Chains A and B, each alone.
Chain A
Amino acid sequence: MTKTIIDQAGTGVETRPAIRTRESLLSTYRTELAIAGAIGLLVLAVGTQVPQALSWGNFANITQAGAPLIIMSLGVLLVVITGGIDLSVGSVFSLTGMVTAQAMAAGFGGVSAALVGLGVGLVFGSINGFLVTIAGLAPFVVTLITFAVAGSLAFIVTNGRSMPIGDPDFWLLNSGSMIPGMPNYILFCIVLLVAIELFLKKMVAGRWFYAVGSSAAAAHLLGIPVKRTQFFAYVASSLLASFSGLLTISYILNAESTAGSSLMLQAIAAVVIGGASLLGGTGTAVGAVLGALMITVIQNGVNLIGINSFWQGSVTGLAILIAVLIDRFSKSRRGAV
């Protein structure tokens, strides 16, 4: 017995045995499981050198250090699935922090200042989305422009000075506990992970993202609102970058113009490590989160062992290569079956 199923791209053009629908989680998240295994091995390897690497305290360090990257990566993932790229997230992250800090200095309360900060993400996401979908410019060019503009504005806002956070309660956003025993940054990561994964896998609008990324032309012919989907992806990406910026300044209670400068490439790397293709049409939120965690674990391991931090880039590059090879191998095996 066969039946037509909606494939990951949501185009409904693929016909496979019905057994496909009963595919186990194990098979669906094969790449992600491989990454999770690699992370586990990495932590154990570091633990053999530095036993404290296996302590709860260190796991808390890793999740705290990784939370902003995780959230940013989830946003970048949405854009990458649609076949786009968002180079502006690091600058939006920095600008959000500076604007929020400046708003507090101007007398805004923590909540209203945070909303002003999120406005940065909304504005830049809308600009990206507008220029990509309406003006028809290439995502790389558009987000390169907004990367430069937002990065420049991050300096202009305070003339390059770092800004302390004025609201003494602002730390609660990151380190408070809406659920007893669970810091908010972990809660936000889990909620966003589940929400985005369910959205992508279970909701029709979520599957449009894959369809658009697989083939925008085919998606258009199928009646999928391609431009609206792309626009939403850029807005979501910028908003999540802004939110991760807010979490960071809430944690360190200080905003810096260069805070997000290294995060953009890390977020893209996390998404790729997590199994997404930069050509679009593939990727999962679970994978992006694991990719971000892997980068954070590498940084943590390098620090704990005391390896020169300049090696972090090389080790991360190697991790990307291994992840891409695992993904390629996994897909070719699935294809062979």
Chain B
Amino acid sequence: MKTKLNGWLAMAASVALAALSSVAHAQEKKTVAYLAPSLDISYWQWVGFGVKQKAQELGMDYVEFTSENSPAKQMDNARTAVTKGVDAIVIGPVSSTSTPPLLAYLKSQNIPIAFAGIGPQPGQTDYTSSVTANNYETGKAQGSFVCALAKERGGNKVGMLSLPQDRENAQKYLKGAQEAFAADGCKLAQMLETRGLTVNEAVTQANDMLTAHPDIKAIYGMYDEAGTGAAKVLETRGLTGKIGIAVADGSPTTIGLLKAKAIQGIFFQEAVGQGIDGTQQVFNALTKAPVKKDLALVMPLVTADKIDSPEAKAVIARVFPPSK
């Protein structure tokens, strides 16, 4: 009887030990959640790739949620993630203004959060880190580059295919570009804002812009599809190279166009890099390591003649996944 009791006790002890060990293991292995505004845009997939890559490197588990461009869904996702027991969040928010209630909630749950791509609403401080592109400085640099392209082609008028100007990043791009145009002696003949972010829309807009302003000598594309659309229009009109194009963001498509000299420069936005850096910052917060609160990454310019250089390849590795 005593032997039987000992057996039961031994079994119970081993079960308890196993349970404790599993709890300890679960406590050791942290989980990071990536909240994307939507995954139908490559950019946010690439940020997710960066988060996942860095999480694996740091020994963290990775889960992913998509907010379908809804602030309410974004909030629901944050709550679900916390309920699932995630330790940290990297978020590409639906918008800067959608984040204050989410930040208040995560603060109450003591969950570190890093922004990627789009930053928090100005004035907010309850976040761990914000990793964004320096849109103002990029706008300025791209504006100077576009102005130089126009002047090389014997004019000073430039056109712009813009992101919607209700976005903070678009406003910063524009402000920087306008300052550069003014400083360098160029004139912004027309700016058209996208609604759908599609190549087809950019083609229509570039066509209409060049019809209204045939003296435009360079085009400033504020997003990747704008560059693809503008290049298509110039090809159709037999103006490839005669009107310069510089584009922000970068993708395999625009890199192909850069190599074909259909566009002259890409200011790469490091989508993968933002995911990597955001994950590193929340990991630092979890491990009590120093955290950088605001990281405004420069968007490096790559021109056609340098696209195959090791530096350019290093930049591109932080833009989109290698297999893409």
Contacts and interface: CB of A to CB of B under 8 A. Distances in A.
Contacts of A256: 198-200, 225
A309 B195 contact: yes
Given A258-B197, A300-B208, A306-B212, A253 B40 contact: no
Interface in A105-153: none
A257 interface: yes
B195 A310 contact: yes
Contacts of B192: 303, 306, 309
B164 A310 contact: yes
B189 to A, nearest CB: 9
A303 B253 contact: no
Nearest to A312: B195
Nearest to A46: B212
Contacts of B164: 310
Contacts of A261: 196, 198
Nearest to A255: B199
Given A52-B214, A306-B192, A308-B193, A160 B207 contact: no
24 contacts: A53-B212, A58-B208, A58-B211, A61-B207, A65-B204, A159-B45, A160-B40, A162-B42, A162-B199, A164-B256, A175-B236, A251-B200, A256-B199, A256-B200, A258-B198, A303-B208, A303-B212, A304-B208, A304-B212, A306-B190, A306-B192, A306-B212, A309-B193, A310-B164
A277 B199 CA distance: 33
Interface in B136-186: 164-165
Nearest to A307: B192
A164 B191 CA distance: 27
A262 B204 CA distance: 14
A299 B204 contact: yes
Given A65-B207, A303-B208, 19 more contacts: A52-B211, A52-B214, A58-B211, A61-B207, A64-B207, A155-B39, A159-B45, A160-B39, A160-B45, A161-B42, A162-B42, A162-B253, A254-B232, A257-B40, A259-B198, A262-B196, A303-B204, A309-B193, A309-B194
Closest 10 CB pairs of A and B: A303-B208, A65-B204, A61-B207, A304-B212, A58-B211, A52-B211, A50-B212, A252-B199, A254-B199, A309-B193
Contacts of A335: none
Contact of B211 (A55, A253, A254, A259): A55
Contacts of B208: 58, 61, 300, 303-304
A254 B207 contact: no
Interface of A: 50, 52-53, 55, 57-58, 61, 64-65, 155, 159-162, 164, 175, 248, 251-254, 256-259, 261-262, 299-300, 303-306, 308-310, 312
Interface in B196-233: 196-200, 203-205, 207-209, 211-212, 214, 225, 228-229, 232
B251 to A, nearest CB: 8
B204 A61 contact: yes
B212 A253 contact: no
B219 to A, nearest CB: 14
Which of the listed residues B45, B211, B225, B229 has the most CB atoms from chain A within 10 Å of its own CB? B211
Contacts of A259: 198-200
A314 to B, nearest CB: 12
Contacts of A306: 190-192, 212
Contacts, number: 96
Contacts of B45: 159-160
A155 B40 CA distance: 7
B116 to A, nearest CB: 17
A52 B41 CA distance: 35
A63 to B, nearest CB: 11
Given A306-B190, A309-B192, A252 B204 contact: no
Contact of B193 (A65, A304, A310): A310
Contacts of A309: 192-195, 205
Interface in B78-106: none
Contacts of B25: none
Nearest to B201: A262
B324 interface: yes
A161 B41 CA distance: 8
A53 B196 CA distance: 24
B37 to A, nearest CB: 13
A65 B205 CA distance: 10
A162 B202 CA distance: 15
Contacts of B39: 155, 160
B253 A254 contact: yes
B229 A252 contact: yes
